[in-house]
Structure 1
Amino acid sequence: MRRILLLAVTLAPLASQAVPLNDDFNLDIDLALVSDYRSRGISQTQNDPAAQLGLTLQHASGLYLGAWTSNVDFGFGAATRQEVDYYAGWFWQANDDISLDLGYLQYRYPKNSEFNQSEYYAVLTAYGFSLGANYSDDAENLFGPSQDILYSYVGYETQLPLDVGLHLRYGRMDFKDPMFMSASEHFSDAYHEWEVKLTRELLGVTWGLSYIDTDLSKAECASSYGFDDVCEATLVASVGKKF
């Protein structure tokens, strides 16, 4: 749920790897296996592994549309076992170092439509740094009749020695109304999350290892997500292939 789209970071380098359909269109195919599907610091699979597939159709003008899917497990007998995201946007690249990505994203959960929601997103990337925001004004199905959500983050990517990629992110999830209750019954409407990820190309695939954490306590986590271990610090291993 609420998968982070860093399209401004990823679309530019993938353009050379995408499958060319003709002079104007490319198709990007993204396959991945992860030891835990974490979105904005929160596990979407009860800390279990996930298989993920993404397809993005890109036009030479910068317009694109696509779909992405992963298995999920929210517990409590939720019928859905799949997340399907649909997105469309425009990617503008000023030069090799500066780009802007604007788009719209829908989250769909078969058999549990009350989880469905949508977001608008914008990501500005410059010289390895990224600044992004996702805003949802239709989260009332899941979080209450008047709940809006703003997720904002900063990130940085660089190449380390031995062809190791370093990816950093620090984000804030901000809800319109209080969402989390501490053990002392203090209510809050926001939390912070962060990720440090190392990647390496080997044997034709990308291997990754992430450290992911939030500042939510066990009580705050359980008060909103129903479990006290889906917000904790964890290591996430991944392997992926892009075509």
Structure 2
Amino acid sequence: MKFRLAAAVAPVALALFATPAFAQEAEESKPVTVSGSVGLVSDYRFRGVSQSDRSLAIQGGLTIAHESGFYIGTWGSNLAGWGTFGGANMELDLIAGYKHTFGDATVDVGATWYMYPRGFDNTDFIEPYVKVSGSLGPASVTAGIAYAPKQEALGAWYADGAAAAAGVYTAPGDKNDNLYVWTDAAAGIPDTGLTLKAHVGYSKGNEGLGPFATSVAPTGEYLDWSLGADYAIPGTPLTLGVSYIDTDISDAEAAYLQPSFSRGQDGTGSIAGSTVVVSLTAAF
């Protein structure tokens, strides 16, 4: 999640008055804006669980927004291990929604379609969401809820880790849903380029691994959290980030996940345990 705060005072107002009228009209008449980012992360963590076997991931996204509040976007990342879900080594998300500001709060309603190029149809799933963001003192705060209705990709197709490792379905066709609730906060430190950030999330549902190990909350119920900071490098579009990420998923529960999200299904170490993730992102 990204947060940006901006303030404008008298010098900006004077500059506007000094700008020719046609330039102001051109600046104000953009009904569509395009924004995006591309970056590297030392580990792709989705709600606290590594999707890249604790290895480097390349990620990028693009959003097209209309002045009415409607927007569409896409985001992608490489994956690792059995997490290829029967297709390419990639996750590609398609996003659409509507955002509107009411007083001091901004409401964002939309849905994300998670897909895995060249993967099987039953590994894709949709997750609608609602987010409300605003300011709390010097910090920006976002609270969100995402609910994925019953789908095969969220079902428990494997009875246990041994079945998952062997690729033997014990309940093919099973469907489950999933609820995710989270809060994010960020606060900039004046004149430093630093932004402190925090996150906590709660997942419930989707107990188990679906076809080709798809999952949103693979242990059925858990918490994830993170603390970190971003540094905007002066004179560049680059942001350097560092975050401490952890979950309350036990080692035994993590062992169930391990065969499905590790290179060659034989990775070592927990992919749901604590870690420090470093990122370098370029925004445009």
**After TM superposition, is the score higher than 0.5?**
yes
Which one has a larger percent strand, Structure 1 or Structure 2? 1
Q: Does 1:166 align with 2:178?
A: no
AA partner of residue 149 (structure 1): N
| Deviation of 1:179 (Å) | 3.8
Q: Deviations over 1:41-61 (max 9, x none)?
A: 011101111111111000001
| Shift of residue 101, structure 1, vs aligned partner | 0.7
Would you say the 8 A contact 2:198–2:227 is kept in 1?
yes
Q: Does 1:88 align with 2:96?
A: yes
Matched residues in 2 for 1:173 and 1:179: separation?
13
In structure 2, the partner of 1:183 is: none
Task: Find 2:245's aligned residue among 207, 212, 216.
Answer: 212
Specify the SS of the correspondent of 1:89. strand
Q: Secondary structure at the match of 2:254?
A: helix
Q: Which runs of 5+ in 2 are unaligned?
A: 7-26, 157-173, 210-218, 263-268
Query: Contact 2:154 / 2:175 at 8 angstroms: preserved in 1?
Result: no
User: Does 78-87 or 230-239 show the bigger shift?
Assistant: 78-87
140, 147, 154: which one aligns with 1:135: 147
SS in 2 for 1:221: helix
Instruction: Find the structure with the greater CA-based Rg.
Output: 2
How far apart in 1 are the matches of 2:57 and 2:175? 32
Q: Which residue of 1 aligns with 2:183?
A: 154
Q: CA deviation at 1:217?
A: 1.0
Matches within 5 A, 1:48-197: 48-75=55-82, 79-95=87-103, 97-113=104-120, 114-127=122-135, 128-144=140-156, 145-161=174-190, 162-175=192-205, 178-179=207-208, 189-197=220-228
Paired AA for residue 218 in structure 1: D
What amino acid is aligned across from residue 226 of structure 2 in structure 1? Answer: E
Alpha-carbon distance in 2 for matches of 1:76, 1:42:
12
Is this contact kept in 1: 2:258–2:270, CA < 8 A? no
SS of 2:176's equivalent in the other structure is coil
Contact kept? 2:153, 2:175, Cα under 8 Å: no
* Farther-moved stretch of structure 1 (149-158 vs 188-197): 188-197
Higher helix share: 2
> Mind listing any 5+ residue stretches in structure 1 that lack a counterpart?
1-5, 14-19, 181-187
Measured after TM superposition, the shift of residue 169 of structure 1 is 0.6
Structure 1 residue 142, shift from structure 2 partner: 4.3
Distance 1:56 1:76 in 2: 26
Aligned to 1:148, the other structure's residue is in SS state strand
How many residue pairs get matched? 222
| Partner-residue secondary structure (3-state), 2:153 | helix
Q: Which amino acid aligns with 1:159?
A: G
| Paired letter, 2:155 | F
SS at match of 1:189: strand
Partner residue, 1:185: none
**TM-superposition CA deviations, 1:96-139 (whole Å, max 9, x none):** x4211110110110232242111001111121222101111144
Secondary structure of residue in 1 paired with 2:82: coil
- Distance, in Å, in 2 between the alignment partners of 1:86 and 1:138 is 19
Summarize deviations over 1:58-102 as a string: whole Å, max 9, x none.
00011100111111114378543011100100111235x421111
Shift in Å, 1:29: 1.8
Is residue 2:254 matched to residue 1:221?
A: yes
- Name the amino acid aligned to 1:213: D
Query: RMSD value over aligned CA atoms?
Result: 2.5
2:254 touches 2:270 (CA, 8 Å); kept in 1?
yes
Instruction: Report the more deviating stretch, 114-123 or 139-148.
Output: 139-148
Equivalent residues of 2:43, 2:57 under 8 A apart: yes
